[in-house]
Amino acid sequence: MHQELKELAAAWAARPVEERLGMTRREFMTFCATLATTLGLPTGAHAAVEKAMEAKRRPSVIWLHFQECTGCTESMLRAEHPTLEKLILDVISLDYHETLFAAAGHQIEAALKSAMTENKGQYVLVVEGAIPTRDNGIYCKVAGQTAIEMTRKVAADAAAVIAIGSCASWGGMPATDPNPTGAVGVHKIIDKPVVNIPGCPPNPYNFLATVVHFLTFGSLPPVDHLNRPLFAYSRLIHEHCERRAHFDAGRFAMEFGDEGHRKGYCLYKLGCKGPETYANCPTILFGDAGSGTWPVGCGHPCIGCTEEGVGFTKPIHTLARVKNLEPPTTYPGTKEPQGKGFTVGAGAVLAAVAGAAAGAGAMVARNLGKGTDGGASGGEGGKSGPAGN
CB atoms within 10 A of CB 287: 13
Burial class (CB in 10 A: 0-12, 13-18, 19+), 86: middle
Q: What does the pLDDT read at residue 289?
A: 67
The pLDDT of residue 256 is: 94
Classified by CATH at the fold level, domain 235-340 comes out as: Cytochrome-c3 Hydrogenase; Chain A, domain 2 (4.10.480)
Report CA Rg, the chain: 26
Q: What pLDDT, in 10s, does the model give residues 247-299?
A: 988 899 999 999 999 999 999 999 999 999 999 999 888 876 667 788 998 89
pLDDT by residue (tens digit) across 105-114?
888 888 889 8
Question: Is the per-residue pLDDT at 331 higher than 90?
Answer: no
Percent of the chain residues topping a pLDDT of 90: 39
pLDDT, the chain, mean: 78
Band the pLDDT of 104: cuts 50, 70, 90.
confident
Please indicate whether residue 139 or residue 328 has the higher confidence score (pLDDT): 139
**Which CATH number does 2-232 carry?**
3.40.50.700
Question: Where is pLDDT greater, at 337 or 307?
Answer: 307
Say if residues 194 and 186 touch (Cβ distance below 8 Å): yes
User: Are 125 and 160 in contact, with CB atoms under 8 Å apart?
Assistant: yes
The model's confidence at residue 336, banded by pLDDT at 50, 70 and 90, is low
Q: What is the mean pLDDT of residues 133-142?
A: 93
Residue 129 confidence (pLDDT)? 94
At residue 366, the pLDDT reads 44
Predicted confidence (pLDDT) at residue 339 exceeds the cutoff of 60: no
Axis-axis angle for helices 25-38, 204-217 (nearest 10): 100
- Nearest alpha-carbon partner for 61 in 91, 93, 103: 93
pLDDT over threshold 70, residue 205:
yes
Q: Residue 232 and residue 242: Cα distance in Å, rounded? A: 18
What does the DSSP 8-state code read for residue 43? T
Residue 349: predicted pLDDT: 45
Would you say the pTM of this structure is higher than 0.85? no
* Residue 38 pLDDT: 63
Confidence check: pLDDT of 389 > 50: no
Q: With 90 as the cut, is the pLDDT of residue 52 above it?
A: no
pLDDT at 134: 94
Query: Across 128-137, 365-374, 380-389, which has the greatest mean pLDDT?
Result: 128-137
141-142 vs 145-146, strand pairing mode: antiparallel
pLDDT for the residue 385: 42
Residue ranges of domains in the chain: 2-232, 235-340
Give the tens place of pLDDT for each residue, 67-90.
999 888 888 887 776 666 666 656
Burial zone of 261 (CB within 10 Å; 0-12 exposed, 13-18 middle, 19+ buried): middle
* C-alpha closest to that of 180 among 148, 136, 132: 132
What pLDDT is stored for residue 189 in this prediction? 94
